[in-house]
Chains A and B, each alone.
Chain A
Amino acid sequence: MGAKDKILIKSSTGNLHLVRDFVEQKAAELGIDQKIISQIIISVDEACTNVIKHTHKYNDSNDIEVETVFRNNEFAVILRYTGEAFDPTKKETPDMKEYFKKFKVGGLGIPIMKKSMDKIEFKHTKPNKNSLTLIKVI
C-alpha cells in the first residue's frame, strides 16, 4: 500500500512549474524533509527538461505523464513519454574541474539527477515507449 497519483502535461518548458508543484505537494503530504524534497524537485525538473528538449524537441503535441509512488521507504517519480530511447544512466558524468576550466555550458541536468537521487532506472519498450524512474530512499 502506498500513496499514488499522477498528472499529465504537454511537453513544454512552460509546464515545468506544474510538475515541480505536483511533486512538491505529493512529497510534502508524506512529511518528507524539505531539503530532500528540493533534491527530488530539481531532479524531476531536469529529467522533464531533457525529455522536452532532446526527446520531444520542444514539440508540445507530445505528453509527459508524471506519477509519484511511495512504497517500502522509497519515494519514486516515474516519467512516461513516447520518443526515441535515451538512457540517462548510461551518460558519463563530466569531470567538473575540466568543465570549469573549459567554460563549458549545458549537460548538467543528468549529473544533478545522479547526485540528488539514490536510484535512476530507464526502460524503453518498442516501438517508442519510455519510462524514467527517479528514486529517493526516505
Chain B
Amino acid sequence: MDEFTITEKKTDDLVILYLNGFLDAHTSSVLEKKFEELLSKKLYKVIINFAGLSYISSAGLGVFMAYIETLRSNSGDIKLSNMSDKIYNIFDMLGFPILFNIVRDESEAVTLFNTNA
C-alpha cells in the first residue's frame, strides 16, 4: 500500500513540511488538511521539503495552486526545496517554476524567507 505522510517543523512563524511517499488524487486531501490547519493558526510562511517524496501527480500540484495566493496575500509564501529530478520534471513540465520558488535545499528556502522579511 502506497502511503503519504507529512512531518512538520516549526520555527517562529516559519513552517517546514516534510512530504513522504506518494502524493496523488487519493492522498492530496492529507496535504490540503495540513494547509487548512496552518491557515487556521495564521501560519503563512511554508517550506515544502520534497526529499522523502517518491511521486506527485497533478492532484498534488493542485494543492499548491489552491493555497499560494492566500499565503502570499498574507505576506507569506510556499517555497519548494529538495526535489529529486523526477519530481522537479513534473513541476517543470507545466512551468511551475514561473510561479514558485524552487530551490536546491531547505536552508536556501529559509534564507529566501529571511531576506524577504
How big is chain B's contact interface, by range?
20 to 34
Given the known inter-chain contacts A53-B25, A111-B94, please indicate yes or no for A103 contacting B57, CB distance below 8 A: no
Q: Are B69 and A13 in contact (CB under 8 A)?
A: no
Contact code string B2-41 (vs A, CB < 8 Å = 1, else 0): 1000000000000000000010111000000000000000
Main SS class of interface, B = helix
Given the known inter-chain contacts A17-B1, A42-B57, A97-B98, please indicate yes or no for A49 contacting B65, CB distance below 8 A: no
Given the known inter-chain contacts A17-B1, A49-B24, please indicate yes or no for A105 contacting B65, CB distance below 8 A: yes
Pick from B1, B55, B98: contact of A20, CB under 8 Å? B55
A104 to B2, CA, bound (A): 28
Contacts of B25 in A (CB 8 A): 13, 16, 45, 49, 52-53
Contacts of B59 in A (CB 8 A): 49
B111: min CB distance to chain A, Å? 24
Q: Are A16 and B24 in contact (CB under 8 A)?
A: yes
Contact code string A37-56 (vs B, CB < 8 Å = 1, else 0): 01001100110010011000
Q: Are A108 and B98 in contact (CB under 8 A)?
A: no
Q: Does B51 contact A (CB under 8 A)?
A: no
Partner-contacting stretch, out of B42-50, B85-93, B102-110? B85-93
CB contact list, B46-72 vs A, under 8 A = 55, 57-59, 61-62, 65-66, 68-69
Q: Are A103 and B24 in contact (CB under 8 A)?
A: no
Please list the residues of chain B having a beta carbon within 8 angstroms of any beta carbon in chain A.
1-2, 22, 24-26, 55, 57-59, 61-62, 65-66, 68-69, 86, 89-90, 93-95, 98-99
Please list the residues of chain A having a beta carbon within 8 angstroms of any beta carbon in chain B.
12-14, 16-17, 20, 35, 38, 41-42, 45-46, 49, 52-53, 96-97, 100, 103-106, 108-109, 111-112, 115-116
Closest 9 CB pairs of A and B: A13-B26, A17-B2, A108-B58, A103-B69, A100-B99, A49-B25, A13-B25, A96-B95, A105-B65
